[in-house]
Amino acid sequence: MFELNKLVRENVLRLTPYSCARDEFEGTYGIFMDANENPYGTLNRYPDPYQKELKKRISEVKSIPFRNIFLGNGSDEIIDLCFRIFCNPGSDKAMIFPPTYGMYEVSAAVNDIHVIKVPLTSGFRIDLKSAEKYLHDDKLKLIFICSPNNPTGNVMDSHDVGYLIKNFHGIVVIDEAYSDFSTEQSFAKLVNRYGNLVVMQTFSKALGLAAARVGMAFTSPEIVSLFNKIKPPYNISTINQKAALARLDQAEETSLLVREIIDERERMRDEIGKFGFVEKIFPSDANFLLMKVNNANDLYQYLVSRNIIIRNRSSVIENCIRITVGKKSENEELIKELKGYTELHRGPGECPSESPQMGGL
Ligand code: PMP
């Protein structure tokens, strides 16, 4: 039986949250003399601490009830809040499946939480057998699943994810930052069925608002209350709330751009797969391609010298680079420079080899 309060840190349970002026009076009309704001200007008032208008729109767009939505200053804030609600520094643990998004481990370290790493299998699947061994450890409070995963690009098997949700006594956080680029079903609709589930999405990727820092968590109303209890009162600025609202009103444009990014991703896969130095391009459900090349460091330096910045992931997966899909013209430029790289590395009289594996990858 899942008991939320047993998972929450004692100090968080006991905490009296900060009560701001906008908690005391929620109306929007009147002479405001309650929050020590400056009466002059257009951005002189504090933002709505609970982002009600924005949440209402998100609720409509995603068909998820208002009470199940929490908004953070990017998903990164939500990750940190999860540690601060559920994990006692110096004694509790979290599980991750590397290679994965780096902030889970960084946030754990900031909060002095031990990380259990269960590496993905060679096919980038969750190794359930290895994970299973830890599931009944009382100190293990959080499991982070990134799907589609960064940097591997694939979605996790929904049965594996389901198994963890059903068999873990703690909180399962599913990070769906890239889900708009995938055809796979989101887990967000299941938050009212499973009380231990937190599903994160973001305005930073498909919605194109990385600068605005708006992350979404879909979870039980009880966990939403815990997030609200410990977050900084005005965690999302008025400007950013407005930017997010405006973006939601451009649904058609967003879906066209997402379509274009997906098409470009597949075109890049075809084009880049032809280069001999590319050993493998992994399947992707995201807006990037992970690929194994014959010398990642050399290729990275070469592209930097041509003013094209990709991500060198060879520290986490041998000789792998991650390329984010750009605009069509930017992708063309990249492909042109990669052709130049092939020429440079072709010995005298040697032909550029075709990658033998490019077909089905
Ligand atoms: N999750 C994943 C998997 C990411 O790759 C990133 C950023 N690259 C984030 C979350 C951060 O999202 P946000 O901008 O909402 O903080």
> Nearest C-alpha to atom 6 of ligand 1 is from which residue?
177
Site to substitute for ligand 1 among 70, 75, 180, 213, most atoms within 8 A of C-beta? 75
Burial class, 86, CB count within 10 angstroms (exposed 0-12 / middle 13-18 / buried 19+)? buried
In this prediction the pTM is 0.94
State the pLDDT at residue 344.
86
> Nearest C-alpha to atom 12 of ligand 1 is from which residue?
75
358 pLDDT higher than 50: no
- For residues 132 and 163, the answer to whether their CB atoms sit within 8 Å is no
Q: pLDDT digit string (tens) for 68-95? A: 999 999 999 999 999 999 999 999 999 9
Q: pLDDT digit string (tens) for 48-72? A: 999 999 999 999 999 999 999 999 9
Closest CA to 162 of 185, 144, 187: 187
State the pLDDT at residue 295.
96
Closest CA to 97 of 115, 78, 76, 74: 115
Mean pLDDT along residues 92-121: 98
Which residue pairs, CB below 8 angstroms and at least 24 apart, start in 117-121?
120/149, 120/152
- For residues 8 and 226, the answer to whether their CB atoms sit within 8 Å is yes
Q: How far is the CA of 175 from the centre of ligand 1 (A)?
A: 8
Reduce the DSSP state of residue 282 to 3 states and report it.
Answer: coil
Mean pLDDT over each residue of the chain, to the nearest integer: 94
Ligand 1 site residues (CB inside 6 A) read 74-76, 101, 146, 150, 175, 177, 202, 204, 210, 215
